[in-house]
Every structure is written in structure tokens, then in C-alpha cells.
Amino acid sequence: ASTQWYERLVGRKEPLSFTTSHSVNIALQNIQARVRMIQSYLAAQLLCESEGRKGNLLVLGSANVDESLRGFLTKYDNSSADLNPIGGICKTDLRNFLLWTSDAFNFPSLKDVAYAASSPELIPIDKETGKTQVSEKDMGLTFEQLDLFGKLRKINFCGPVSMFKSVIRVWNLKLSDTAALVKHFFQYYSMNRHKMTTITPCYHAESYSPDDNRYDLRQFLYNCMWPRQFQKIDEFVEAANIANNINGIDE
């Protein structure tokens, strides 16, 4: 119904679909994500009534630190809730907690949850391959990478340049590949930081929490290209490559 209304509004003859364009794909995903929020609140308000009880229920959110930092969520979608019990925990810590709980309290099903590929499930399953949407592929970063970026950003107060210099000591990657990952993170972090101003209140569990309203007060308007910082990273990579070429060392 939402897409048909828009098609009539603009006089569009071709129906909107996930394969029309990237912009249309994202817009359709956002519709589905926001409908989930509406359905969650509808159920929370009426489930008690359907069982003959008074009152209503709280809606719990499920966005984690990594998704919030990357901005891998939609404003006012199913990340919106009354309370988010895992909103202050990164994916790797959450996975480790589930694995520990599974062994400590004999809940083997939690291991399936911990090892399941994370997916927002907002686009149809590919009919030919049977593959579904995968969060890490869409984000362009793994949860392990986001875990490190998030801790360096918040706990170590790293910006693009200092973060780049920190991660090259940790990752055994080409400098150019590391630079690309750091730039990718900061571009999307700055582009989507405004989403944190309306994020659901979460349980404050770790010092790396990106909760803008309480524990991580930051600006939400940035130059997403970071011209000076990215230039410094490029200069560092170029200087290192020149030095390595002189010494006969691969990047």
C-alpha cells in the first residue's frame, strides 16, 4: 500500500522493487523495518487485553553497539523500543556471553543463536541461490573489526589518523587495505551519527557504549569525507610504501 501510494503520487508507471535501484532497495527495506516497529508496539499494547489482563507490555530492542556505530539501522524502525537490554554491548562480547551461558546453565540452543549469521532479513531470499541478506556483507565490515574500532574510538579517544596507526599494529593487512577499512568506518559513522540522537535507552554495560543521550555525547553533523584526516592517512601510507620500496620490502 505504501509503495502504491508513492507510485500514484509521482505518476510512476513501473512498480517499485528491490532490484529497481540501490535507493529504491534501501527505501523498501526501511518501510519493512518501520512496519516491524508498529507491529511490535501494537502487540505490546494489546496482548494483555487479548488475554483478559490489564495493562500493557514493554517493547525490547535488539540493536547492538556495532550496528549503532556503523549506523546499520533505520531511524524509527524495529531498533526503536522502550528499552534495549543489549544496546550497550558489542556483538563479540554478546556472542561470548551467550556461549558461556549455554555451557554454564545448559542452554544448548543459545549456541545456535551465537553462531547464527546476523541478518536484518529486510530483502527477499534469492530464489536462485537461496542466500539471505548478511549484515557483515552489507556493512562492509566484520563485527570483530567494528568491535576494535568502537573501543579505540570511545575508550582510546581515537580519530581516523590515530585509529589507523593503532590498528596497523594489530592487523596483518596491507597498509592500503587497513586505510580503506578505517576510512569506510568513519565515513559511515559520521554519516549516521544523527541516528544515535533518537536511539532507544539501553542497559549501560560497557565503557565503549555509543549512547548519545547519556554516555557518549558527540556532535551529530560531520564532514563525512574527513578531508584532512584521510589525507594524513594517505600520506602515511605513501611514505611507508616509499620506504619499503627502498628497502625491498612488500607492503
Over residues 107-141, the pLDDT tens digits come to: 999 999 999 989 988 888 877 777 888 999 999 99
Q: What is the DSSP letter of 227?
A: H
Q: Is 154 within a domain? A: yes
Q: Nearest 10 degrees: CA dihedral of 120, 123, 124, 128?
A: -100
Hey, is 144 helix, strand or coil? helix
Residues of the chain above pLDDT 90, percent? 73
Does 185 share its domain with 196?
yes
Q: Is 226 left (phi over 0), alpha (psi -120 to 50) or beta?
A: left
Q: Is 212 within a domain? A: yes
Does 64 share its domain with 8?
no
Within 10 A of 94 (CB to CB), how many other CB atoms are there? 18
Does 67 share its domain with 183?
yes
Q: What is the DSSP letter of 51?
A: T
Over residues 218-243, the pLDDT tens digits come to: 999 999 999 999 999 999 999 998 88
Does 64 share its domain with 39?
no
Q: Is 31 within a domain? A: yes
Q: Is 171 within a domain? A: yes
Does 33 share its domain with 65?
no
Residues of the chain above pLDDT 70, percent? 97
CATH number of domain containing 145: 3.40.50.620
Q: Is 226 within a domain? A: yes
Does 4 share its domain with 48?
yes
Does 51 share its domain with 154?
no
Over residues 189-210, the pLDDT tens digits come to: 999 999 999 999 999 999 999 9
φ, ψ of residue 121 to 5 degrees: the values are: 50, 50
Task: Count structural domains, the chain.
Answer: 2
Residue 140 cell numbers, joined? 562492509
Residue 247, pLDDT > 90, answer no
Q: Confidence band (pLDDT; 50, 70, 90) for 48?
A: very high
Task: Specify the range with the lowest mean pLDDT, choosing from 4-8, 48-52, 237-241.
Answer: 4-8
Does 166 share its domain with 65?
yes
Q: How far apart are CA 107 and CA 168, in angstroms?
A: 39
Q: Is 64 within a domain? A: yes
Over residues 67-82, the pLDDT tens digits come to: 999 999 999 998 899 9
Q: Confidence band (pLDDT; 50, 70, 90) for 16?
A: confident
> In terms of residue numbers, what domain contains 5?
1-57
Residue 210 cell numbers, joined? 555509543
Does 67 share its domain with 163?
yes
Q: Is 95 within a domain? A: no
pTM: predicted TM-score of the whole model, two decimal places: 0.89
Hey, is 74 helix, strand or coil? coil
Q: How far apart are CA 82 and CA 203, in angstroms?
A: 11
Within 10 A of 9 (CB to CB), how many other CB atoms are there? 8
